[in-house]
Structure 1
Amino acid sequence: MAGRHVWWGAAAVAAAALAWSTSFSVTKLALERTPPLTVGALRFGLAALLLAVAVRLQRRWRPPSVRERLEMALAGLLGITLYFTLENFGVDLATASDATLIVASYPALTFALEFALFRQRPAPLALLGMALAVGGVVLIVRDNADAAGSQRLLGDLLLALGGLAWAAYNLLLAARRPRMSALTATYYQTFGGAVAFAALALTEYRDWGGLAPVDIGLMAYLAGVCSIGGFLCYNKGLRSISSSTAVTILNTIPVFGLVSAVVVAGESVTRIQLIGGAVVVLGVVLSLRRDVSRDDGAPKTVDRAPKT
């Protein structure tokens, strides 16, 4: 039963990866007519409004304590405002292929932070799984990168810095283990992130214009599928698996993106891409085997974090 609990958590994070696999391309379309901070404010503002209704429909729902709400708002500043600010500017300056490849380095950042903060050395099997997952992502995207632009290096740097924000978000959320439903946790994170985004978006008021129907549709998709659906599944999964394993599963995003490109855009798939997808899956499975063994007796990595 313990092992099954871990695999259900892994499935929830994989569902988040599926939802997020289209985020880069949809964001790129939205950025054609809307500035980056405004995209974040509209996306997460709409998501917060929808979640405000959904969270109150829960049976016997009561607001968590002020401290718990503040903790979730802080997590939202890291995982929503800071991360997506860096991502939006990074995608705007660089390419979707660059973003996909750089996201593959996030597990390494999470492992490094875990060791630096908690003196928790990753197991050899976990390191092998991470290396395989990253190697598979490289195989998938290496032939798809666009020609470099003058601002591409800056965009890549912003995306890399986003990995630090994302790793900090993972460790904070997993270490605190919020005593509330995933829906409630997602709502307060989204609300905190949206408020901060709204304040930042005021700096772009000179670039504001009217929203066309297609822009409204893009924002609705980003809010409903990528934000609400993705973060709900991700928060749910973090209750069962470690933060580093969860981020490793996000390496399946290029795989899901490849499948959607074939089904929706009719693109062809090379043998190298297929091999890369298989290597990614193998790396994720190896990482999950570590958590299954820990769930049978030993404490998880995040449980060794100091409690304040």
Structure 2
Amino acid sequence: MREKGPSMWAVCAVAAAALLWSSSYAVTKQVLDEVGPLSIGAVRFALAALILGVTVRMNRHRPARPAARQRRRLYLSGFLGITVYFVLENVGVDLSTASDASLIVATYPLMTMLLELALFRTRMPMLRVAGVLLATVGAYLVVRNGAEVGGDARWTGDVLLLLGGLAWAGYNVLGKRASAGQNALSVTYYQTLAGAAGFLLASLLEAGDWRVPSASASSLLVYLAVACSVGGFLLYNYGLRTMASSVAVNILNLVPVFGVIGAVVINGEAIRPIQAAGGVVIIVGVMLGMIERAPGATAQPEAGEVEPAGTAPARL
């Protein structure tokens, strides 16, 4: 049986999320001059949860409230994908560099793919594996010339960013299986609610440094909440429902490409030929990772279904 490939709308949604998220590194770096990394997450996701809560309640066609067990799964995936991941990312970017962050983010598809293999014994097509590897190589080419030699702080930041990849892989695998019967808006709301709660508690560690941010920093925080959090997660969750999580994360290898384009257009930075070549390699890898299986291969379950692990259904 031939595997059903992702729809064009799903691919475009995840690519649009990548475009929004690619801007968050530069924006977060600017806000860090005035606001601590944990406080940024608390303000960003508390505002996002408020916006989503109002939107969900105004939606006349919203699905029924998830059962308690499903809500716990959504809360856990939100804690992993928002609180844990963004704590590690914000602190990691603060200690390291944007170029290191872009390089390390490109390894996240490999982490997701390996987690799927370990937990569910998922059969990964060789073309998809090759696509992930090729896209990772391309991301390395994009950022390698921008890397600078740093000390212990930068090394610590890189380790935190790598640990963030494990949290993101867990979010992808768990989030896909926790979203059955719910639309993207509902899933994003429950996940953001849990993520905001976790961040609000974590931000108390920075209470001694709290001060009112400037108008510029405040506007950037609103952008992070509305565009990157609400918009990005809605688009990403919509796409994730109809494609394998490893494919969705592979598309996020476009983030370094979008980041370079933004640097050229907005900041007037020059792009080196090897970085341009890396962008081409990333796009080829992403396209290769979405090629359908040959006839006769066993199809993966649709979004919301559970993949087998051994002889019993695997449920998280």
TM-score by length of 2: 0.91
Q: Distance in 2 between matches of 1:170 and 1:180?
A: 16
Q: Distance in 2 between matches of 1:245 and 1:15?
A: 15
**What RMSD over aligned residues (CA atoms) do the two structures have, in Å?**
2.0
Match of 1:63 in 2: 65
Alignment of 1:1-308 (within 5 A): 5-61=6-62, 62-290=64-292, 298-300=299-301, 303-305=306-308, 306-307=314-315
* Residues 241, 4 of structure 1: alpha-carbon distance in 2 compared, 3 angstrom cutoff: closer
* Residues 167, 254 of structure 1: alpha-carbon distance in 2 compared, 3 angstrom cutoff: same
Deviation above 6 Å: which 4+ runs of structure 1? Answer: none
CA contact (8 A) 2:179 2:187 kept: no
Q: 1:267 is paired with a residue of what secondary structure?
A: coil
Q: 1:18 is paired with a residue of what secondary structure?
A: helix
* Residues 96, 76 of structure 1: alpha-carbon distance in 2 compared, 3 angstrom cutoff: same
Q: What is the letter of the counterpart of residue 44 of structure 1?
A: F
Query: Which structure 2 segments of 5+ residues have no match?
Result: 309-313
Residues 45-93 of structure 1: per-residue CA shift (max 9 Å, x gap): 0101111111112123343333332221111100000000100110010
Residues 242-285 of structure 1: per-residue CA shift (max 9 Å, x gap): 01111111100011111111211122222211111111010001
Which structure: greater helix fraction?
Answer: 1
Q: What is the letter of the counterpart of residue 51 of structure 1?
A: L
Compute the displacement of 1:137 (Å).
0.6
After TM superposition, the structure 1 stretch with the greater mean CA deviation from structure 2, 103-112 or 147-156, is 147-156
CA contact (8 A) 2:41 2:87 kept: yes
Residues 282-303 of structure 1: per-residue CA shift (max 9 Å, x gap): 0001111137x69x97224974
Q: Distance in 2 between matches of 1:280 and 1:152?
A: 26
* Residues 243, 58 of structure 1: alpha-carbon distance in 2 compared, 3 angstrom cutoff: same
Compute the displacement of 1:227 (Å).
0.5
Q: Percent identity?
A: 48
Q: 1:235 is paired with a residue of what secondary structure?
A: helix
Q: Distance in 2 between matches of 1:268 and 1:178?
A: 45
Compute the displacement of 1:36 (Å).
1.2
Q: Distance in 1 between matches of 2:50 and 2:85?
A: 21
CA contact (8 A) 2:83 2:195 kept: yes
Q: Distance in 2 between matches of 1:112 and 1:271?
A: 32
* Residues 3, 261 of structure 1: alpha-carbon distance in 2 compared, 3 angstrom cutoff: farther
Q: What is the letter of the counterpart of residue 9 of structure 1?
A: A
Q: 2:35 is paired with a residue of what secondary structure?
A: coil
Query: Which structure 1 segments of 5+ residues have no match?
Result: none
Q: 2:60 is paired with a residue of what secondary structure?
A: coil
Q: Distance in 1 between matches of 2:131 and 2:78?
A: 29
Match of 2:311 in 1: none
After TM superposition, the structure 1 stretch with the greater mean CA deviation from structure 2, 142-151 or 237-246, is 142-151
CA contact (8 A) 2:306 2:315 kept: no
Q: Distance in 2 between matches of 1:166 and 1:5?
A: 21
TM-score by length of 1: 0.93
